[in-house]
Chain A
Amino acid sequence: MAGAISTLSDSTFDEEIGSSSAPVLVDFWAEWCGPCKMIAPILEEIAEEQGEALKIAKLNVDEAQDIARRFEVMSIPTMILFKDGEEAKRIIGAKPKQALLDDLADYL
């Protein structure tokens, strides 16, 4: 569904990232991370605005530790943009909405 943010797990990650024709921005986050909570509403807005052009998915690093380890995530929030299943862009740390959009501009 356009505009909705999906939730990824260790078992669904490869399938969802691999099968998506649109780029997917994965938000690595956790409940205990203040800056992660701050960007959550921004990502919801971006998901709504971008519609089909960009998928946004959340990955809880407490629950999906294998994936977090595979991508060597060492700081959250980390947002990785996957294009055709491959990592295309990595954004580390919370940022204002416009700065996030600027970082993603080449892929939208």
Chain B
Amino acid sequence: MSDIRDVIIIGSGPAGLTAAIYTARANLAPLVLEGEPSSTSDQPGGQLMLTTDVENFPGFPDGVMGPELMQNFRNQALRFGAEIDTVKASRVDFSERPFKVWVGDPDAAEPTHLAHSVIVSTGAQSLMLGLPNENELVGHGLSTCATCDGFFFRDQEIAVVGGGDSAIEEAGFLSRFGSKVTIIHRRDEFRASKIMQQRAFDNPKIDIMWDTVVEEYLGDGQLSGLRLRNVHTNEVNDVQFGGVFIAIGHKPNTGLFQGHLQMKDNGYLVTQPDSSYTDVPGVFACGDVQDDVYRQAITAAGSGCMAAIDAERWLEEQHG
């Protein structure tokens, strides 16, 4: 077991890496447990690793690629001395100080790390539909990553399931490749912002199926289409698609903190108003893991800065 760190940051999206930049510059020598590679959005760099053009992050008038932006965040944190480990935290114990954090075997008697303060920035990950044979079909016509896989559906009919900004962004991106993109949405209006909605309506390659839910993935070993049901008429239709992309929203990555930190009913961490304080003094939360309202890269980065400053001041008070 190592010495007691001042700050351990769990998670490495815009929130965690901003917290790393600020705490590193405050000479707190932060350790970032950045997560492990995966093709889901629960991975180092977070959700932006699976996006293409980020057009709304201030400072990039021509836009920036999501993975490139996150690489820059990471390099900036490293430049100021943050230590970044490509591992996942497997268990935490916040019941006494110093706080305990495990990596690897969660049943190990001794924790891997001890810390005076912890910043939680584990983010959120994309939800899947939870239908049978979903896992088997990922990579065989069903995708969790439009930017990774859109290319392979050139001149094919593509479906995007969802109705928020990310669904419409994916549909727009996929319309560069597919012959037609159909957005399948369970309601009769989008949650997405007006500018994104207008883009979908104006795109001649994008069709929208309102009031429609997916009942079943069709195809054995290779996705061939979807069984769709209209929620009003209950009419069921089998529709052929070459590729299907799921963008139905997110769930916070808070499983690790169950029983340790206060959560809302929807699993998001509770922070005290206008701060990053959780219900455990010395444990701070920032980014999407505690934000079920704004969920933007820039708000995540902003709250990461708040968590770093909160942690720094809290440590000063403790150590005098």
Contacts and interface: CB of A to CB of B under 8 A. Distances in A.
Interface of A: 30, 32-39, 42, 61-62, 68, 73-78, 92-96
Contacts of A36: 148
Given A34-B67, A74-B140, A93 B39 contact: yes
Interface in B264-291: none
Contacts of A77: 39, 148
Contacts of B138: 75, 92-93
A35 B140 CA distance: 17
A35 B39 contact: yes
A35 B152 contact: no
A76 B147 CA distance: 10
Contacts, number: 79
A78 B243 CA distance: 17
B143 A75 contact: yes
Interface of B: 36-39, 43-45, 49-50, 52, 65-67, 70, 86, 138-141, 143, 145, 147-149, 151-153, 243
Contact of A78 (B49, B139, B141): B139
Contacts of B153: 74
19 contacts: A32-B52, A32-B147, A33-B145, A33-B147, A33-B148, A34-B45, A34-B66, A35-B148, A36-B148, A38-B44, A61-B151, A74-B149, A75-B139, A75-B140, A94-B38, A94-B43, A95-B37, A95-B38, A96-B36
A75 B49 contact: no
Report the 5 A-B pairs with minimum CB-CB distance, sorted nearest first: A93-B39, A92-B139, A34-B67, A34-B49, A75-B139
